[in-house]
Amino acid sequence: MANPLESESTLAARLSPLDIALIVAGIVIGAGIFRAPADVARLTGGPPGFMAIWLLGAVVALMGGITYVALARQAGGIGGEYRFLELGWGRPIGALFVWARAAVIQTGAIATVAFVAGDYLAGLLPGPSLPWALLSVALVTLFNLLGLSVSATAQRLLTLAVVTALVAIIVLGLSAEPVVERGRAAPAHGPANPGLALVFVMLVFGGWNEAAYLSGEVRGGAVGLARGLVGGILLVAALYLAVNLAYLAALGIDGLAATSAPATAIAEAALGTAGTAIITLVVVLAAVSTLNVTTLTGARAMCALGQDLPALGFLGKWDSGRSVPVVALLVQGVVALALVGLGGLARDGFEAMVAFTAPVFWLFLALVALVPFRQAELRQVRLPALGFAAACLWMLWSSLGYARFLAGESEIAGWLGFSGLALVALGIPLALTTRAAQSAGYERARPGTGAAPRPQAGCQRDSALGPD
C-alpha cells in the first residue's frame, strides 16, 4: 500500500511558483493591516519614516524567506521552526520553542487578533471592544471543539474579500478629501522608535514563512519555491505600501496615529454608514478567519507537546470522533481569554499583546536565523541570514525596550512583556526532559523514518505545519 504522505507530496508537487505566491498572499494578508498602521504612525517621525519602515519590513521578510528556503531544504521542509532549531541547536532548544509557542506565541497571537476584532466590532455594535474580543475567542474555541474548520474554498473567498476591501480603501483614500485635519495631535507614545515600529510592521507581514514548509511540494524544488516566496512577498509589499499611502493621504500621519480603525474612518467619510458597515464586516471576518486558523494549529501544537513530554501528557488527549484535541483547545482558550482580560486592563489591549509575544517570538527567530552559521551546508545563505538575524535581534531589543518603557510608566503591558519571557523560562526544565522522554518512547514519528506513529497521532501532522 502506498505511503499516504508520499501520495500527498506527489500531488502537492504540482504546485507552481504562482501557486506559492498566491498562498503567501492569502496567508499574510489579514486583519493586521487594518489596525497596526496606527501604531506604526505613532512610532515614526513623519510620513517618510512611516513609509520607509514598511519598505524595510518587506526587505526583512525577503531576507527571512531566502533563509527559510535553505533551512527547509536542509531540514526536510516539514516541522517549521521546530525542525530548524533542532537542526542547528539541538532537540532541547527545539522543544523549548514548542513550549514557547504553546504558552506565549500562539495564545498571545489569538489575543492580539481578538483585540482587532473587538476594536472593529465596537465601531459597529454597541459596547466597548473588550467584551467583543472575549466573545470572539470564546466562540472560535467553541466552534473548534465542535470540529469546525474553515474550508479551503471559504478561505480563498475570504482572502478575495479582504484584498477587494484593501483595493477599495486604496482608491477611496487616494481620491477623497482628507478625513481629518492633519494638525490633529496623536496620543503621546514617547520618542520615535523605529525598532518597535518594525515589530508592528513584521506582525502584519507575519505568515510568509508558512510557504517554506512546501519546499518538496512545488515544481522546480527550491528554485520554484524561492520564486514563489519572493513573488508573494513582493505582491503583499506592493499592496501594503499602496494602502498605507492611502491612509496617509486621507488621514495624515497624526490622524492615522489617532485612530485604531483607519479603514473605517476612510469608508465612513466616503460612503457613510453603509461603507463603515461593509469595511467593518470584512475586517471582522478576516480576524475571525485568522483566529480560527491560529486556534486550530495552536491547539494541535499544544497537543503534540503533551504527546512528547510525559509531564504534560494530559494535553495530548485526542478526540477521534470529532478529530479535535479537546483538552488542548480548552487550555488554550482559557489562557487566551485570560490574556485578553489582562490586555483589557492596559491602555491598548492590542499593543499589550504585542508586548507579550514579541520578545519571545523574535528571540526564537533570531536563533533560527543563526542556524546557517552552525551548519556548513548552509553557508550560501549566510549573507541574507545575517541581515535577517540582525533585524530579529534589533526587534528583540526594541520590544524589550518598549516593555521597560511601559513598566516604567506603570503600564501593565510592560509587565506582560517580561512575563512572556518568564513563561518561556518555566519551560526550560521540561525541554531538558526531552532526551529522557525520547528514550521512553515519547518521540513523534517523522516522515521518511519508517517509525510507526504513536496511538494518539491526531495532532502530529497538523502541528508540523509550524507557527502562524
Percent of the chain with pLDDT over 90: 18
The per-residue pLDDT for range 283-324, each reduced to its tens digit, is 888 787 778 777 876 777 677 667 766 777 787 787 776 667
Q: Which of 390, 48, 54, 73 is nearest to 214 (CA)?
A: 73
The CA dihedral of 327, 147, 444, 424, to the nearest 10 degrees, is -50
- Whether residue 140 contacts residue 392, with contact meaning beta carbons closer than 8 Å, is answered with no
The per-residue pLDDT for range 149-182, each reduced to its tens digit, is 544 556 667 677 778 888 888 988 888 777 654 4
Crossing angle of helices 129-145 and 326-344, in 10° steps, is 180
Domains within the chain, CATH numbers bracketed: 13-437+458-463 (1.20.1740.10)
Q: Count other Cβ atoms within 10 Å, centred on residue 8.
A: 12
* Residue 353 or residue 207, greater confidence: 353
* Residue 243 or residue 440, greater confidence: 243
User: Is 407 a residue whose pLDDT tops 70?
Assistant: yes
The per-residue pLDDT for range 9-55, each reduced to its tens digit, is 443 455 678 877 877 777 788 778 888 899 899 888 789 999 999 99
CA distance 442 to 464: 16
- Whether residue 71 contacts residue 375, with contact meaning beta carbons closer than 8 Å, is answered with no
pLDDT recorded at residue 386: 94
- All residues at 6 or more sequence positions from 425 whose CB lies less than 8 Å from its CB, including other chains: none
pLDDT recorded at residue 459: 55
pLDDT recorded at residue 321: 67
The per-residue pLDDT for range 177-200, each reduced to its tens digit, is 776 544 344 444 446 788 889 988
User: Is 369 a residue whose pLDDT tops 90?
Assistant: yes
Nearest 5°: phi and psi at 95? -65, -35
Nearest 5°: phi and psi at 267? -65, -40
pLDDT band at 247 (very low <50, low <70, confident <90, very high): very high
Q: State the alpha helices, DSSP H only, in 309-427.
A: 326-344, 349-369, 382-408, 412-426
CA distance 425 to 371: 21
Lowest pLDDT segment from 379-383, 403-407, 408-412: 408-412
Q: What is the pTM of this model?
A: 0.77
Query: Helix, strand, or coil here: 173?
Result: helix
Section 84-103 average pLDDT: 86
